[in-house]
Chain A
Amino acid sequence: MDPALEQLILERLGDSDLPEAAQDLVLAACEGAAELERAIGGDAAPRKTDAAQLELTEAPPGAYLESVAVQGFRGVGEAATLPLTPGPGLTIVAGRNGSGKSSFAEGLELLMTGASTRWATRTAVWREGWQNLHFDGPTIVEAAVLVDGQPGRTKLQRSWAHGEALSPGDCAVTTGDGTQTTLDALGWPAALSRYRPFLSFNELGQMFDELKTMYDALSAILGLDDIEALALALRDARLARDREAKALRQRLKDLTQRLAAIDDDRARTVSAALAADPPDLDAVELTLDGVDAGTDLHTLRDLAALRAPTIEAVDGALEALHEARKGLEACAGTDAGRAASLAKLLETALAHDEQHADGDCPVCGTTGVLDEAWRLESARAVARLQDDAGAALRAEQAVRTARRRVSDLLPAQPPPTVSRARDLGLDPSPLEDAWDGWHAQRDRLDDPAELARAREELDRLRDAAAGLAAAATEQLEQREDAWRPVAVELTRWLPEARSAVRATAALPTLKAAEAWARDAAAALRTQRLEPIAGAAKANWEALRQGSNVSLEGFHLRRRGNNRSAEVDVRVDGSDASAFGVMSQGELHALAISVFLPRAALAESPFRFMVIDDPVQSMDPSKVDGLARVLESAARSRQVVVFTHDERLPEAARRLGLDATVLEVTRRPGSVVEVRESRSPVERYLEDARALVRSEGVPAEVAERVVPGFCRHALEAACSQAVRRRRLGRGDAHADVEATLADATKLYPRLALALHDDEQRTSDVLRTIGNRFGKQHIGTVKLVNQGAHEPVGVDLRDLVRDTGVLAHQLADAQ
Chain B
Amino acid sequence: MTAAELLAAARTLVDTRGDELTGLWPRAAALAGRQALEAALDDLWAVRAPGLEAASARAQLDCLPDYLGDRRLAGEAASAWAALSTACHHHDYELIPTADELQARFAVVERLVARVGVTAPRPSSVRPA
Q: Which residues of A contact B (CB under 8 A)?
A: 94-96, 98-99, 644-647, 650, 663, 665-668, 671, 673, 675, 677, 680, 684, 687, 690-691, 693-698, 700-701, 704-705, 708-709, 711-713, 715-716, 719, 737, 740-741, 744-746, 787-789
Q: In the complex, A719 Cα to B15 Cα: how many Å?
A: 31
Query: Smallest Cβ distance from B104 to chain A, in angstroms?
Result: 12
Query: Smallest Cβ distance from A90 to chain B, in angstroms?
Result: 19
Does any Cβ of A come within 8 Å of B23's Cβ? yes
Instruction: Note all chain B residues with C-beta closer than 8 A to A98.
Output: 98, 100
Q: Looking at A701, A737, A746, which has the most chain B CB atoms within 10 Å of its CB? A: A701
Given contacts A704-B32, A712-B90, A788-B35, contact A665 B22 (CB under 8 A): yes
Of B6-14, B44-52, B64-72, B115-123, the segment with at least 4 beta carbons within 8 Å of chain A is B6-14
Contact of A677 among B23, B27, B93, B103 (CB under 8 A): B23
A694 touches B21 (CB 8 A): yes
Q: In the complex, A788 Cα to B24 Cα: how many Å?
A: 18
Query: Smallest Cβ distance from A457 to chain B, in angstroms?
Result: 126
Instruction: Note all chain B residues with C-beta closer than 8 A to A745.
Output: 89
Q: In the complex, A696 Cα to B17 Cα: how many Å?
A: 9
A650 touches B90 (CB 8 A): no
Smallest Cβ-Cβ distance to A719: which chain B residue: B92
Could you list some 16 contacts between A and B, CB below 8 A?
A98-B98, A668-B14, A668-B103, A694-B20, A695-B20, A709-B24, A709-B31, A712-B89, A715-B89, A737-B93, A744-B89, A744-B91, A745-B89, A787-B31, A788-B38, A789-B35
CB within 8 Å of A: which B80-105 residues: 86, 88-100, 103
Instruction: Note all chain A residues with C-beta closer than 8 A to B99.
Output: 666-668
Instruction: Note all chain B residues with C-beta closer than 8 A to A645.
Output: 93-95
Contact of B32 among A96, A694, A705 (CB under 8 A): A705
Q: In the complex, A480 Cα to B51 Cα: how many Å?
A: 124
Q: In the complex, A745 Cα to B96 Cα: how many Å?
A: 17
Does any Cβ of A come within 8 Å of B16's Cβ? yes
Query: Smallest Cβ distance from B111 to chain A, in angstroms?
Result: 20
B95 touches A787 (CB 8 A): no
Instruction: Note all chain A residues with C-beta closer than 8 A to B12.
Output: 701
Q: Looking at B25, B28, B35, B96, which has the most chain A CB atoms within 10 Å of its CB? A: B28
Q: In the complex, A784 Cα to B28 Cα: how many Å?
A: 15
Given contacts A704-B9, A705-B31, A788-B35, contact A687 B1 (CB under 8 A): no
Q: In the complex, A693 Cα to B19 Cα: how many Å?
A: 13
Q: In the complex, A155 Cα to B97 Cα: how many Å?
A: 34
Instruction: Note all chain B residues with C-beta closer than 8 A to A701.
Output: 1, 9, 12-13, 32
Contact of A716 among B16, B20, B90, B94 (CB under 8 A): B90
Instruction: Note all chain B residues with C-beta closer than 8 A to A671.
Output: 17
Q: In the complex, A698 Cα to B8 Cα: how many Å?
A: 12
Contact of B24 among A691, A716, A737, A740 (CB under 8 A): A691
Query: Smallest Cβ distance from B43 to chain A, in angstroms?
Result: 13
Smallest Cβ-Cβ distance to A708: which chain B residue: B31
Q: In the complex, A54 Cα to B22 Cα: how many Å?
A: 56
Given contacts A698-B9, A700-B129, A704-B6, contact A646 B23 (CB under 8 A): no
Give the number of chain B interface residues (Cβ < 8 Å): 40
Given contacts A96-B95, A708-B88, A719-B92, contact A696 B24 (CB under 8 A): no
Instruction: Note all chain A residues with C-beta closer than 8 A to B96.
Output: 96, 665
Contact of B98 among A96, A647, A744 (CB under 8 A): A96
Contact of A94 among B1, B21, B86, B95 (CB under 8 A): B95
Q: In the complex, A788 Cα to B56 Cα: how many Å?
A: 12
Q: In the complex, A308 Cα to B3 Cα: how many Å?
A: 137
Instruction: Note all chain A residues with C-beta closer than 8 A to B100.
Output: 98, 668
Instruction: Note all chain A residues with C-beta closer than 8 A to B15.
Output: 667-668
B93 touches A650 (CB 8 A): yes
Interface contacts (Cβ under 8 Å), in number, total 132
Smallest Cβ-Cβ distance to A714: which chain B residue: B90
Query: Smallest Cβ distance from B103 to chain A, in angstroms?
Result: 7
Smallest Cβ-Cβ distance to B26: which chain A residue: A665
Contact of B88 among A690, A716, A787 (CB under 8 A): A787
Given contacts A668-B103, A719-B92, contact A700 B26 (CB under 8 A): no
Contact of B94 among A646, A698, A737 (CB under 8 A): A646
For the complex with contacts A696-B16, A697-B13, A719-B90, 18 further pairs of A-B residues with Cβ separation under 8 Å are A96-B98, A99-B95, A644-B95, A665-B23, A667-B99, A671-B17, A687-B28, A697-B28, A700-B129, A701-B13, A705-B13, A705-B27, A708-B28, A708-B88, A709-B27, A711-B89, A712-B88, A787-B88
B20 touches A690 (CB 8 A): yes
B24 touches A99 (CB 8 A): no
Query: Smallest Cβ distance from B16 to chain A, in angstroms?
Result: 6
Instruction: Note all chain A residues with C-beta closer than 8 A to B88.
Output: 708, 711-712, 787
Given contacts A675-B23, A712-B89, contact A704 B16 (CB under 8 A): no
Instruction: Note all chain B residues with C-beta closer than 8 A to A680.
Output: 90, 92
B91 touches A704 (CB 8 A): no
Q: In the complex, A744 Cα to B83 Cα: how many Å?
A: 13
Instruction: Note all chain A residues with C-beta closer than 8 A to B20.
Output: 690, 693-696
Q: In the complex, A704 Cα to B88 Cα: how many Å?
A: 12
Q: In the complex, A677 Cα to B27 Cα: how many Å?
A: 14
Q: In the complex, A621 Cα to B71 Cα: how many Å?
A: 43
B35 touches A704 (CB 8 A): yes
Instruction: Note all chain B residues with C-beta closer than 8 A to A744.
Output: 86, 89, 91
Instruction: Note all chain A residues with C-beta closer than 8 A to B38.
Output: 788-789
Query: Smallest Cβ distance from B33 to chain A, in angstroms?
Result: 10
Contact of A705 among B28, B90, B92, B94 (CB under 8 A): B28
Q: Looking at A666, A704, A713, A745, which has the most chain B CB atoms within 10 Å of its CB? A: A704
Q: In the complex, A713 Cα to B28 Cα: how many Å?
A: 13
B21 touches A704 (CB 8 A): no
Smallest Cβ-Cβ distance to A615: which chain B residue: B93
Given contacts A644-B95, A645-B93, A740-B92, contact A687 B6 (CB under 8 A): no
B1 touches A673 (CB 8 A): no
Smallest Cβ-Cβ distance to A715: which chain B residue: B90
Instruction: Note all chain B residues with C-beta closer than 8 A to A704.
Output: 1, 6, 9, 31-32, 35
A646 touches B95 (CB 8 A): yes
Contact of A696 among B6, B18, B97 (CB under 8 A): B18
Instruction: Note all chain B residues with C-beta closer than 8 A to A715.
Output: 89-90
B89 touches A687 (CB 8 A): no
Instruction: Note all chain B residues with C-beta closer than 8 A to A698.
Output: 9
Smallest Cβ-Cβ distance to A665: which chain B residue: B23
Q: In the complex, A684 Cα to B91 Cα: how many Å?
A: 12
Q: In the complex, A745 Cα to B6 Cα: how many Å?
A: 23
Q: In the complex, A189 Cα to B123 Cα: how many Å?
A: 72
Given contacts A645-B93, A665-B96, A667-B17, contact A673 B6 (CB under 8 A): no
Q: In the complex, A787 Cα to B1 Cα: how many Å?
A: 14
Q: In the complex, A397 Cα to B47 Cα: how many Å?
A: 170
Query: Smallest Cβ distance from B85 to chain A, in angstroms?
Result: 9
A673 touches B90 (CB 8 A): no
Q: In the complex, A711 Cα to B28 Cα: how many Å?
A: 12
Q: In the complex, A711 Cα to B103 Cα: how many Å?
A: 23
Given contacts A698-B9, A704-B1, contact A95 B95 (CB under 8 A): yes
Query: Smallest Cβ distance from B92 to chain A, in angstroms?
Result: 5
Instruction: Note all chain A residues with C-beta closer than 8 A to B27.
Output: 687, 705, 708-709, 712
Contact of A647 among B17, B28, B93 (CB under 8 A): B93
Given contacts A645-B94, A646-B95, A673-B23, contact A746 B89 (CB under 8 A): yes
Q: In the complex, A680 Cα to B95 Cα: how many Å?
A: 11
Query: Smallest Cβ distance from B56 to chain A, in angstroms?
Result: 11
B21 touches A696 (CB 8 A): yes
Instruction: Note all chain A residues with C-beta closer than 8 A to B23.
Output: 663, 665, 673, 675, 677, 687
Instruction: Note all chain A residues with C-beta closer than 8 A to B21.
Output: 690-691, 694, 696-697
Smallest Cβ-Cβ distance to A643: which chain B residue: B95
Instruction: Note all chain B residues with C-beta closer than 8 A to A690.
Output: 20-21, 24
The 10 A-B residue pairs with the shortest CB-CB distance, nearest first, are A715-B90, A708-B31, A687-B24, A705-B31, A675-B23, A716-B90, A701-B9, A705-B28, A712-B90, A96-B95
Q: In the complex, A687 Cα to B90 Cα: how many Å?
A: 13
Q: Looking at B21, B90, B91, which has the most chain A CB atoms within 10 Å of its CB? A: B90
